[in-house]
Structure 1
Amino acid sequence: MPPGEVEARALLELLSLVKPRKRRGLLLVGEGEQVSEVARSLGSPARSAFSRLRRGRRRLTTVLKRRAHGGVPAALSGPAPQGPDSLG
């Protein structure tokens, strides 16, 4: 499997640990959407979208820190993404 596929698979597995509504916001921002567009896509006010993004980034940061300290299953042992800020 090419390295890019391993990194993408690891990132998707890490994202699966984030609640669905927060994960959708992170993915949309990662694709270049503005928060106002994310809010519209989620059917929520912009403040709610900001809040979900903040909590989603926090959760992803926690997961990445645990992974860095060996707390995430070996199936996720590919290279770590640069961090939640690289998603948006």
Structure 2
Amino acid sequence: AIDVPGEKLNSLEELFQKTMEEYEQRSSTLAQLADEAKELNDDSTVNFLRDLEKEQQHDGLLLQTILDEVRSAKLAGMCPVQTDQHVLNVVSHQLH
């Protein structure tokens, strides 16, 4: 089991699924804040939030890629060590 504050997750897939859900909540909150800043004609805040949103989108793509790879490894019958190495290789490739 994987200990996460307030929860106990049973697999790497559950951990990344939970992380994706939290990512989606953060993205939604950023969009709401940007809408409020637009209504207030607060251009500097809108620009700041747009920059954050771009970073969030990049992070979201990486998280989704990792989740997809974890699921693929599970379907392929990889053990946890093999899955870890596979995901590490994918992430290293994505970051370079």
Could you say which TM-score interval applies, normalised by the shorter chain?
0.3 to 0.5
Q: Which has the higher strand share?
A: 2
Larger % of helix: which? Answer: 2
Q: Could you state the TM-score of these two structures normalised by the residue count of structure 1?
A: 0.44
Greater RCO structure (CA 8 Å; 6+ sep): 1
TM-score by length of 2: 0.41
Which of the two has higher C-alpha Rg? 2
